[in-house]
Amino acid sequence: MSAEYATPVSKEGLEATGSAITSASAASRGSRPGGTAGRRAGIILLGLIVPALILLAWHLSTASGFFRPSQLPSPASVLAAAVDLIERGQLATHILISTQRVILGFLIGSLLGVLAGALLGLSRLADVLLTPTVGALRAVPSLAWVPLLVLWIGINEDSKVTLITIGAFFPVFTTLYLGLRHVDRNLVEAARAFGVNGVRLLTTVQLPAVVPALFSGLRLALAQSWLFLVAAELIASSMGLGFLLTDSQQTGRVDRIILAIILLAVIGKITDALLGIAERWAVRRWA
């Protein structure tokens, strides 16, 4: 990690960020005064102030020599580490394989969570029969499954995706199950009084009523998926951001560790924001 080539890059980087912020905010103010799109852009920009300040403090604390590079490398050297990994063609692989694992595990886990939550939330019999068991399974700290998964499935994609599936399952299951339990009885009764029942009752009353709960469950599940991804990759893998973390720890590359952490934060935030957009749409439509 050489501070010599790092400093100029960092200055450029910061200036670029700063000018991007000012020009974007000026554009938003100029083109749509008081419009909702402009306001949303403004809110996003306000949210970027603190990260920009953190970046600045980070830069200053490393440039002033307050932290040694082996403790906390400068932003520039982290950027350099990223460029280095990109040039080796490794960064994209790490990111893609991790994202793929998360998306697969999240999709399978939430699908199973929706099915189980709907079954136990709607059927009295299934509820009485299965809820104690599911409750006990949920009480198992999910990482306790790791040794079993490794023995049964082996150290491969399947065991990692399975672990993420377990992590994504419970938030979706729990929120949907509880949501269905608490659907306004008066509304259900009113619909039934007009001859709505069975599947039609489910689609016209019960499911729409739990859409907000379902989406908060999905967002929790997505966060859990990233959590479990790192757990899975820390334990055994040869690719992915979790692997980048353990590997860099062994080789003492703090810059790469910080790079991996920043990437996890940014990608996690992006996927959450995408889900948030879907949520806003669904809530506007259904609630």
Binding residues for another protein, rule: CB under 8 A, are: 186-187, 189-196, 204-205, 208-209, 211, 285-287
Q: Pick between residue 100 and residue 197 the one whose CB is nearest to another protein.
A: 197
Q: Pick between residue 192 and residue 269 the one whose CB is nearest to another protein.
A: 192
Q: Pick between residue 64 and residue 186 the one whose CB is nearest to another protein.
A: 186
**Least spacing, CB of residue 111 vs another protein, in Å:** 23
**Least spacing, CB of residue 187 vs another protein, in Å:** 6
**Least spacing, CB of residue 179 vs another protein, in Å:** 14
Give the Cα separation of 97 and 68 in Å (integer): 33
Q: Pick between residue 11 and residue 280 the one whose CB is nearest to another protein.
A: 280
Give the Cα separation of 137 and 214 in Å (integer): 21
Tokens of 41: 């852009």
Give the Cα separation of 107 and 222 in Å (integer): 9
Q: Are 250 and 66 in contact (CB under 8 A)?
A: no
Q: Pick between residue 12 and residue 184 the one whose CB is nearest to another protein.
A: 184
Show the 3-state SS of 149-198. Answer: HHHHHCCCHHHHHHHHHHHHHHHHHHHHHHHHHCCCHHHHHHHHHCCCCC
Q: What contacts 82, CB < 8 A, 6 or more positions away?
A: 91, 259
Q: Pick between residue 151 and residue 193 the one whose CB is nearest to another protein.
A: 193
Nearest to 102 by CA among 6, 232, 236, 244: 232
Tokens of 34: 């008081």
Q: Are 175 and 216 in contact (CB under 8 A)?
A: yes
**Least spacing, CB of residue 287 vs another protein, in Å:** 6
**Least spacing, CB of residue 201 vs another protein, in Å:** 11
Tokens of 135: 């409750």
**Least spacing, CB of residue 118 vs another protein, in Å:** 18
Give the Cα separation of 101 and 109 in Å (integer): 12
**Least spacing, CB of residue 281 vs another protein, in Å:** 13
End-to-end CA distance of the chain: 53
Q: Pick between residue 206 and residue 237 the one whose CB is nearest to another protein.
A: 206
Q: Pick between residue 89 and residue 195 the one whose CB is nearest to another protein.
A: 195
**Least spacing, CB of residue 199 vs another protein, in Å:** 14
Q: Are 35 and 18 in contact (CB under 8 A)?
A: no
